[in-house]
């Protein structure tokens, strides 16, 4: 029943997206594990991990598009939810190190021993359990989004003011997590991970499993987001985006709809962060940087705001370009190129890459209507 609901009214673009991501999630790990290194079909572990990072960003972009593209909430702080999910996963991975750390302490992470912490802080309790850590991946970003949204939406804070407040939120978290006395590793963050669920996190098979799981979560996130926007609730959310005052005058509790979508979006961003950390191998306060959240907005704008597939496409395309252009002579100019890309898309491609290509394709396929021939005069 749930599957039927999620797949109901799915268009060709949605089915194509699901098919492509599923194929990537199956074929890439197989090409990594089964094909010899000299084969043209072999995918290296480094390449697989890199593209796994791109797909984590795609899930983050979908979560932002859910609130910005469909609800009209321009959040400049979604990087905070992404980072909080990453820290929850990082805390679990740090607890798995045990006595294999540099200082050999079976309970305290190395940075706590170095800073002369006497005991494990209470907020680290339970993170030795994978189910508890996964619960925190959802609960911590979701609870923060719920509390923030409760006050912001009930106070009817909208527009640029809400965007500035969300940016201030992520900047405040950046400053807090930089402090050594917070118990999250300070500016060095959490790193040197060993195991996940008893498997070596650096092993080829583990990397392949993480990539496949990332594809699975991307599909699940897309289906959940699409299920929301195509439901009756989604129609109200879109009405809030287009005419919030009219929707409120019709009797809808606008703040509750916005709060629900914002909280779900934060949970999705937290899952993206949790998948990102074991593949990258580190999580530090720089993930809270406001620039990261602004960059996520650019991904969605480039791919196509109000199109879940477009948001994912924009995240992959922009981050692939970032990898290419920051490794050569263009490295010092990448931020200028990124800003120019955002301006270009805003002025000349307001529907993003996907929307522009789709419009061009439909216009080309539409048959030209010929003017009707005038009847010949009667002789």
pLDDT band with cut points at 50, 70 and 90 for residue 265: very high
Q: C-alpha angle with apex 295: 294 to 298, nearest 5 degrees?
A: 95
Q: C-alpha angle with apex 132: 128 to 136, nearest 5 degrees?
A: 115
Q: Between these two residues, 14 and 279, which has the higher pLDDT value?
A: 279
User: Taking the model in full, what pTM does it have?
Assistant: 0.92
pLDDT greater than 60 at residue 118: yes
pLDDT value of residue 298: 92
CA distances from 178 to 89, 187, 207, 217, 267 (A): 18, 5, 29, 30, 23
* Helix 308-325 × helix 45-68 angle, to 10°: 140
DSSP secondary structure, 49-86, as one string: HHHHHHHHHHHHHHHHHHHHTTT----S-HHHHHHHHH
pLDDT band with cut points at 50, 70 and 90 for residue 35: very high
pLDDT greater than 60 at residue 379: no
Tell me: the pLDDT tens digits for 286-332?
A: 999 999 999 999 999 999 888 899 999 999 999 998 888 887 777 78
DSSP secondary structure, 264-286, as one string: HHHHHHHHHHHHHHHHH-EE-GG
pLDDT value of residue 329: 75
Phi and psi at residue 282, to the nearest 5°: -160, 150
pLDDT value of residue 101: 86
User: What does the alpha-carbon distance between residue 70 and residue 161 come to, in Å, rounded to a whole number?
Assistant: 19
Query: Quick one: average pLDDT of 153-164?
Result: 92
CB of 312 closer than 8 Å to CB of 218: yes
């Amino acid at each position: 029943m749930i599957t039927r609901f999620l797949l109901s009214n799915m268009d060709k673009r949605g089915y194509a997206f699901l098919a492509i991501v599923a194929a990537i999630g199956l074929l890439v790990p197989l090409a990594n594990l089964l094909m010899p290194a000299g084969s043209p079909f072999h995918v290296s572990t480094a390449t697989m991990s890199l593209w796994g990072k791109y797909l984590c960003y795609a899930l983050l972009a979908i979560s932002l598009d859910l609130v910005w593209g469909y609800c009209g909430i321009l959040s400049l702080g979604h990087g905070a939810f992404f980072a909080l999910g990453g820290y929850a996963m990082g805390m679990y991975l740090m607890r798995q190190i045990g006595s294999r750390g540099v200082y050999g302490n079976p309970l305290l992470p190395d940075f706590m021993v170095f800073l002369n912490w006497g005991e494990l802080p209470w907020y680290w309790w339970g993170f030795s359990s994978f189910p508890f850590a996964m619960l925190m991946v959802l609960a911590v970003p979701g609870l923060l989004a719920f509390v923030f949204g409760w006050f912001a939406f009930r106070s009817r804070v909208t527009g640029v003011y809400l965007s500035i407040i969300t940016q201030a939120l992520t900047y405040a978290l950046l400053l807090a997590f930089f402090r050594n006395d917070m118990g999250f590793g300070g500016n060095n963050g959490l790193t040197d991970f060993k195991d996940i669920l008893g498997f070596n996190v650096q092993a080829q098979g583990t990397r392949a499993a993480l990539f496949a799981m990332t594809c699975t979560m991307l599909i699940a996130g897309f289906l959940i987001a699409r299920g929301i926007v195509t439901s009756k609730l989604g129609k109200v959310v879109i009405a809030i985006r287009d005419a919030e005052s009219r929707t409120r005058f019709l009797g809808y509790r606008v703040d509750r709809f916005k709060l629900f979508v914002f909280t779900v979006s934060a949970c999705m961003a937290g899952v993206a962060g949790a998948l990102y950390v074991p593949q990258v191998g580190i999580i530090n306060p720089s993930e809270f940087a406001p620039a990261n959240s602004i960059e996520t907005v650019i991904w969605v704008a480039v791919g196509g705001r109000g199109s879940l597939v477009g948001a994912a496409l924009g995240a992959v395309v922009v981050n692939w370009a970032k990898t290419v252009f920051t490794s050569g002579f263009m490295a010092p100019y990448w931020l200028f190129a990124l800003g120019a890309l955002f301006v270009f898309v805003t002025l000349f491609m307001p529907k993003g890459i996907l929307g522009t290509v789709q419009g061009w394709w439909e216009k080309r396929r539409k048959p030209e209507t010929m003017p009707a021939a005038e009847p010949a005069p009667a002789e």
